[in-house]
């Protein structure tokens, strides 16, 4: 059920499988019902329709790790893209624009560009040539991705000098120039590829996207963000849905996706490598395969109903192995993988998230759309239906053109009955606004209204 289509809009479920080649070289075999099986096929058979892959520039730190083989460089990524496309899966390629992990704590430029980090024109030229060369190479072997993500969790300046991680800084003029350079490099040769921006944490997304667009970074297709409960609490699933609604209202031409998420199924560990996720949303405690599945399904139902375009689970195949990371032997994520400590697929765990039919459980629109009118004489916002469809548990949100929420709540707070309800508006302050009305079953109406002449 990974590519689910309702009213012409595709909803994509995907998995990040960047670690798989390394795991297999470290001796890992993956099993389903006791039988060894290709892990790409496991995910594809259960409904994954997109594979996300990270790309590092020159990960030379691998040279002294394990067997000395490098991963997530272009040679390794080519192998992974080929595996995904052989099964008809789409690919999201994450240009991390670094030799090492890029995230909110560090955004280090490749060592090859170290001399250019303070020379913006030279840095832009290096970035442009790099992206063009990578895409040219992939195009030559028919392995172009469907989506490109520029940077990874870019909550600060990208392409900084190695070692720069404090203090936090964001020079919008420099950052915007670099992002636009990357965008132009993609558009110049392969305009059909969708472009995504990626922010860590739902609570940060609006500020950053407003910053990008107000500084001229506008030619992108997808607003992407990470959502991990341990890192981004107390942001709830419901609040994440509200965020997506606001983004869809403020940026109706953009898709919204969760590009990274994860949830543990146990607090136990299979090795000495410290795990990066160790807690769950209290509403989904204790950690268990069933609660991992429930959290993911509830999150996805909410994202779908809010108008989101998809969710990608980060590294569900990063199981424990004899190999090491820079921080320890094993995996830092085996308690959030979709496999048990013997590398057997957990049938009642997270894999069920891919199988769930979101189109049947929650629709985005209703054919029986209520009528919304503005009664300017009495300054009333009226919602009416002749079919007695007005459920008092429907929610509403009034958003200004700047994206600020002016008012929100439930229809039960309005006066009236199940045929007509009305809200008295303040005498001033609301001019051109957007009203959205929805329930747990999806968005019923999102329209602009001119309230004050």
Q: What is the pLDDT of residue 445?
A: 52
- Report the catalytic residues: 153, 260
H or E, element range at 436: strand 432-439
Q: If phi over 0 gives left and psi between -120 and 50 gives alpha, with beta otherwise, what is residue 153? A: left
Tens digit of each residue's pLDDT (9 = 90 or more) over 186-237? 999 899 999 999 999 999 999 999 999 999 999 999 999 999 999 999 999 9
Record: fold of 371-450: Immunoglobulin-like (2.60.40)
Tens digit of each residue's pLDDT (9 = 90 or more) over 254-293? 999 999 999 999 999 999 999 999 999 999 999 999 999 9
- Below-70 pLDDT ranges, the chain: 1-9, 166-167, 360-392, 399-404, 416-453
Helices (H), 215-288: 229-232, 237-250
Both tokens of residue 307?
A: 């108008």
Where are the extended beta strands (E) located within 353-419? 371-375, 380-384, 395-400, 405-410, 415-416
Phi and psi of 363, rounded to 5°? -90, 155
DSSP 60: G
Per-position b or e across 104-130, b if 16+ CB within 10 A of its CB: bebbbbbeebeebbeebeebbebbbeb
Domain boundaries, the chain: 3-361, 371-450
Answer whether 289's CB lies under 8 Å from 346's CB.
Answer: yes
Phi and psi of 306, rounded to 5°? -80, -10
Q: What is the pLDDT of residue 364?
A: 47
Q: What is the pLDDT of residue 8?
A: 37
Q: Does domain 3-361 have CATH number 3.30.413.10?
A: no
Cα→Cα distances 353→49, 128, 161, 215, 375, Å: 13, 38, 40, 38, 45
């Amino acid at each position: 059920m990974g590519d689910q289509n309702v009213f012409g809009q595709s909803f994509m479920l995907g998995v990040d499988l960047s670690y798989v080649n390394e795991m297999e070289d470290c001796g890992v075999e993956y099993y389903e019902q006791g039988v060894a099986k290709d892990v790409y096929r496991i995910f594809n058979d259960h409904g994954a329709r997109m594979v996300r892959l990270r790309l590092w520039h020159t990960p030379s730190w691998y040279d002294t790790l394990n067997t000395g083989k490098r991963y997530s460089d272009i040679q390794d990524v080519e192998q992974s893209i080929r595996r995904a496309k052989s099964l008809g899966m789409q690919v999201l390629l994450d240009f991390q624009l670094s030799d090492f992990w890029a995230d909110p704590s560090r955004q280090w430029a490749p060592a090859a560009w170290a001399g250019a980090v303070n020379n913006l024109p030279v840095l832009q030229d290096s970035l442009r040539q790099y992206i063009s060369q990578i895409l040219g190479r992939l195009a030559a072997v028919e392995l172009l991705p469907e989506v490109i993500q520029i940077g990874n969790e870019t909550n600060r300046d990208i392409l900084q000098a190695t070692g720069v991680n404090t203090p936090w800084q964001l020079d919008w003029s420099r950052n915007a120039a670099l992002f636009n350079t990357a965008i132009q490099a993609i558009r110049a040769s392969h305009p059909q590829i969708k472009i995504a921006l990626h922010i860590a944490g739902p609570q940060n997304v609006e500020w950053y996207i407003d910053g990008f667009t107000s500084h001229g970074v506008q030619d992108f297709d997808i607003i992407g963000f990470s959502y991990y409960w341990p890192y981004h609490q107390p942001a709830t699933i419901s609040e994440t849905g509200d965020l997506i609604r606001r983004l869809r209202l403020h940026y109706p031409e953009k898709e919204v996706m969760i590009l990274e998420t994860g949830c543990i199924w146990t607090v136990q560990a299979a090795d000495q490598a410290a795990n990066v996720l160790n807690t769950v949303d209290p509403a989904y405690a204790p950690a268990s395969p069933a609660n991992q599945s429930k959290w993911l399904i509830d999150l996805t139902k909410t994202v779908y109903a809010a108008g989101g375009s998809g969710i990608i689970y980060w590294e569900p195949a990063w199981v424990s192995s004899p190999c090491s990371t820079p921080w320890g032997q094993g995996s830092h994520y085996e308690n959030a993988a979709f496999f048990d400590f013997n590398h057997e697929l957990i049938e009642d765990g997270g894999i069920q998230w891919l199988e769930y039919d979101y189109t049947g459980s929650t629709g985005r629109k209703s054919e029986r759309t209520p009528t919304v009118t503005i009664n300017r004489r009495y300054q009333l916002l009226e919602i009416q239906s002749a079919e007695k469809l007005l459920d008092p548990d429907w929610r509403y949100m009034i958003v200004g053109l700047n994206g600020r929420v002016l008012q929100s709540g439930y229809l039960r707070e309005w006066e009236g009955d199940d045929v007509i309800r009305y809200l008295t508006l303040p005498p001033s302050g609301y001019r051109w606004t957007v009203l959205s009305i929805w329930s747990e079953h999806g968005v019923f109406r999102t329209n602009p209204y001119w309230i004050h002449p």
